[in-house]
Structure 1
Amino acid sequence: MDDVERVEAAMVAVRRRQSRRALARLQGVAGPAHDVLDVVEAGGPVTVSTLAQALGVDQPRASRMVAAAVAGGLVSREADQSDGRRSVLVMTEAGRAAAEQAHEARRAVFRLGDGGLDGGGASRVRPSADPLRPGPLPG
């Protein structure tokens, strides 16, 4: 199995675990707060509306997810400096720590999980697309 095939196998394993929330449990942040952190960390001004769009959920569901993340101390709401009527979500120190723990757990899945990369192969594989850009992947 070459490096690209190992990356593909690892991505499939991660996706399966993600859909079962297994990765969220490994990361220390479970459920909706896990998804909120991923979107807020990706950057840009994140509002409840942009979060809902990014996650493909309706606005009331996104509001509940944000409320859970705020109650958990992972994100805070701050006034948007360009439009005081709206608030943006900002990661707290606890949120940054949880996000870092999530990254480590995900990397461990790639390093050690079934189908994961080993022997430094990940450093030799160049991504062919920006994973955050919408649309189909090339190939």
Structure 2
Amino acid sequence: MHNGDADDKVLKAIEAAMVDIRRRQTRRALARSEPEADPALFDVVDAVEDGEARGAPVTVTDIAAALDVAQPRASKLVAAAVEAGLIRREADQKDGRRALLALTVAGRELCERVHEVRRRRFAAATRNWSKIDRAAFAQLLTRFVDGLTETEPERH
């Protein structure tokens, strides 16, 4: 077997695994971990949490980009998350024309419950792995995601 054939086989295996992950995400298998949470609203909460973790202000435009939806759809999702008490709008002190989004206590509690359930599932999926294998997987998966991010085509 040529090295190119081996590389192609490995890339096909990565592709198959990623397609399976995408299908599971499409079915919202991980989001279903919190039964009372609407998966679409949790996506908004998750995106706000991510922005806060990075120390970045989060706007409806950021939510639209994070969820890959049009601005009107993002606005509706944000309004529903606000109405559900998961996030709140705050005035931007630098630009009074825009509102920043922040998690509420209920939003933070929801995130913690979902993180806990996800991590339990990940622990169960890797329960027979060594600590070294888990650490290597975490490092390689992070590198892989970073590499995908760096090679994303520009959208116009």
Q: Same fold (TM over 0.5)?
A: yes
Looking at structure 1, the residues matched to 45 and 123 of structure 2 have their Cα atoms a distance apart, in angstroms, of 23
Of 122-131 and 83-92, the range deviating more from structure 2: 122-131
Stretches of structure 1 that go unaligned for 5 or more consecutive residues are 1-7
Q: Provide the residue aligned with 1:128 in structure 2.
A: 143
Partner of 2:77, secondary structure, is helix
Of 56-65 and 27-36, the range deviating more from structure 2: 27-36
Q: Provide the residue aligned with 1:117 in structure 2.
A: 126
Q: Would you say the 8 A contact 1:26–1:105 is kept in 2?
A: yes
The structure whose residues are more often helix, as a share, is 2
- Structure 1 pair 89/59, CA: closer, same or farther in 2 (3 Å)? same
Tell me if 1:63 matches 2:80.
no
- Structure 1 pair 130/10, CA: closer, same or farther in 2 (3 Å)? closer
Percent identity, aligned pairs only, is 47
Q: Provide the residue aligned with 1:3 in structure 2.
A: none
CA RMSD of aligned residues (A): 2.6
Partner of 1:88, secondary structure, is strand
Q: Provide the residue aligned with 1:20 in structure 2.
A: 27
Q: Provide the residue aligned with 1:38 in structure 2.
A: 46
TM-score normalized by the length of structure 2: 0.69
Q: Would you say the 8 A contact 1:10–1:110 is kept in 2?
A: no
- Structure 1 pair 108/27, CA: closer, same or farther in 2 (3 Å)? same
Stretches of structure 2 that go unaligned for 5 or more consecutive residues are 1-13
Bigger relative contact order, structure 1 or 2, given CA contacts below 8 A and separation 6+?
Answer: 1
TM-score normalized by the length of structure 1: 0.77
Higher Rg: 2
- Residue correspondences, number: 127
Among candidates 103, 123, 128, match of residue 115 of structure 2: 103
- Structure 1 pair 93/12, CA: closer, same or farther in 2 (3 Å)? farther
Code of the residue aligned with 2:126 in structure 1: it is: L
Partner of 2:80, secondary structure, is helix
